[in-house]
Amino acid sequence: MSCKICNENFETVRSLLYHLSTTHDIKRYEYIVRFEFNGFWPLCKCGCGNKVNFMCGNFLDYLDHHQPVKSMSEDTKQKLREANLGKKASDETRQKMSQTGIARYENDPSLAKNLSDRMRGMKYSEDMRRKLSEVRKQKILSGEIKINRDKISETMTQKYMNDGFRWAKGTYVSTKTLKSCTYRSSYELQYMELLDADDDVIDWKFEPFALKYEIDGVTRRYIPDFLVTRKTCKELVEVKPRCLRDTKMNSLKRQAAQRYCSDNDVAYVEWTSDVDSSQNENSPGSDITRSPVDGLTMTFLP
C-alpha cells in the first residue's frame, strides 16, 4: 500500500499510519475522509443528516442511537485481558523495530523535529516522573542504556560558549570588600558568601583580569572567576560544575590559568559547590588537595 500524499510504499497499515502521523501530521480519519470520501464526512444512512461515528478504523453506517453497536460482553473482555496479560515483543522484534525507526530518522531528520514539536509542552505527574527516573536509573546501571558522556560534554561546552544556559543571575555586595559583584551562577554566589565568612581570606576580587588562550586556531579571552588573597598565599580560583571541568574549552582555559599562576607564584584552585561534590566542606579552601607542580604549590579539587 502507498501513501496517497507522497506515494511512498509501505508493507503494513501500521507503518502507513505511523508515516501519516509523523511526516504529514494527519490523523487516520482525516486521511480517509480526504481520499475515500472526497473531503466530505459520511452522514447517517437513516437520513437524519448527522455525521456518523469513526471507530476502529472505519466509519459506522448509522449513528449509535439509530443502529446500536453490539458491545463486547464483560466475559469476553476479561478473556482478552487474560490472554494479552504479560505479552511482550521478542528481542528480535524489538531490535528490528529499533533499527527501522533509526533508519527512518536518519533518512528524514524532519521526523525527529515533528516528534519533538508534538511532545513539547506535555507534562507528567510528579509520581510518573519519579517512576520514569527510577526506570532510567536501573537501565543505566544494568547497561541497557549507554550514555555517550563525550557527546554530552561536547554539547554542554557548545551551549556554554553560546550562553545557552540560564544561570542564576543577580548582584552581591561583599561584607568584606564592600564591593558590588554581578554573579552569573548560583555557584559563584555561594563561593562569594563563603569567602566573606572565611577568616583566612584578607581580600578577594571577582573577575580580576583577562587571560588569552587558543581554541581551534582562534585566540579567545578568558576571565578567571576570583583572585583570593589569603593570610599565607594568593589563589586564582575557577568556580565550575564538575560535569564541565574536563571539556576541551575548559581544559585550555585551565592551562592558561596555570601558566599565569606559574609566572606569578599564585596557587590555582578549581572549586565546585557541595551540592555538586559531597567532598566539599563549608570553607572555600578546605575541599582541596595540594600537589607540587613545576616547583609551585598548585591547587586542585580531589
* E-only strand ranges, 25-169: 54-55, 58-59
Nearest to 56 by CA among 87, 28, 15: 28
The answer on pLDDT for 87 being more than 70 is yes
Classify residue 205 by its DSSP letter: E
Classify residue 154 by its DSSP letter: H
**pLDDT, position 196:** 94
The answer on pLDDT for 255 being more than 50 is yes
Residue 299 Cα distances to 106, 213, 236, 266, angstroms = 46, 20, 9, 10
d(C-alpha 41, C-alpha 44), whole Å: 10
Enumerate domains of the chain plus CATH numbers. Answer: 170-300 (3.40.1350.10)
The answer on pLDDT for 299 being more than 60 is no
What confidence tens digit (pLDDT) does each residue in 142-190 have?
888 877 766 666 666 666 555 555 567 889 999 999 999 988 888 899 8
* E-only strand ranges, 36-92: 54-55, 58-59
Residues 6+ apart with CB under 8 A from 228: 195, 201, 203, 204, 234, 235, 236, 237, 269, 284
> Cell numbers of 38, please?
472526497
The answer on pLDDT for 130 being more than 80 is yes
Inter-residue contact 273 to 243 (CB < 8 Å): no
Q: Identify the residue with better confidence: 154 or 246.
A: 246
End-to-end CA distance of the chain: 62
Residues 6+ apart with CB under 8 A from 147: 140
Sign (positive/negative) of CA torsion 243, 249, 252, 254?
Answer: negative
The answer on pLDDT for 204 being more than 80 is yes
> Cell numbers of 223, please?
576571565
Residues 6+ apart with CB under 8 A from 233: 266, 267, 297
**pLDDT, position 149:** 66
**pLDDT, position 147:** 75
Nearest to 215 by CA among 252, 254, 161: 252
Mean pLDDT of 199-215: 92
d(C-alpha 208, C-alpha 107), whole Å: 50
